[in-house]
Amino acid sequence: MTGDPANARIEVMNPVAEVRPEAVVPARRLDSLSGKRIALWWNSKPRGDAALETVAEAFQRRFQNVTFSRFDQQYDHGRHFPERYDEARRSCDAVVATTGD
């Protein structure tokens, strides 16, 4: 170390990114799932598919004429798939998504 330690200067930096929250309007709540088509969305993480199958079975026991469309994607560290989201939005009344680990 060179120089006088009494004159040393330390600068502390904050490594946390600034948060910029976005307002999100939640989807309208359905009165019932009876007669509805539900998207089951799995991001391919382990056992998420099993969780969705359990949800589907529970919905079938509780609601009449509920049907399902299954969507899956290869897990890709936060990558988004807007075209698949649009497909689910157009074809289904609600979405149940899981991540497994």
Q: Which residue has the higher pLDDT, 16 or 93?
A: 93
Q: 23-76 pLDDT, tens per residue?
A: 888 888 999 999 999 999 988 888 889 999 999 999 999 999 999 999 987 766
The span from the first CA to the last CA of the chain, in angstroms, equals 48
Q: Nearest CA to 96 among 49, 62, 61?
A: 49
Q: Which residue has the higher pLDDT, 77 or 14?
A: 14
Q: How far apart are CA 45 and CA 51, in angstroms?
A: 11
Q: How far apart are CA 54 and CA 50, in angstroms?
A: 6
In the chain the domains, ranked by start, together with CATH numbers, are: 35-101 (3.40.120)
Q: Which residues contact 91 (CB under 8 A, 6 or more apart)?
A: 37, 39, 69
Length in residues, the chain: 101
pLDDT of 80 higher than 80: no
Residue-level pLDDT at 76? 64
pTM: 0.69
Residue-level pLDDT at 82? 80
Residue-level pLDDT at 61? 97
Residue-level pLDDT at 101? 66
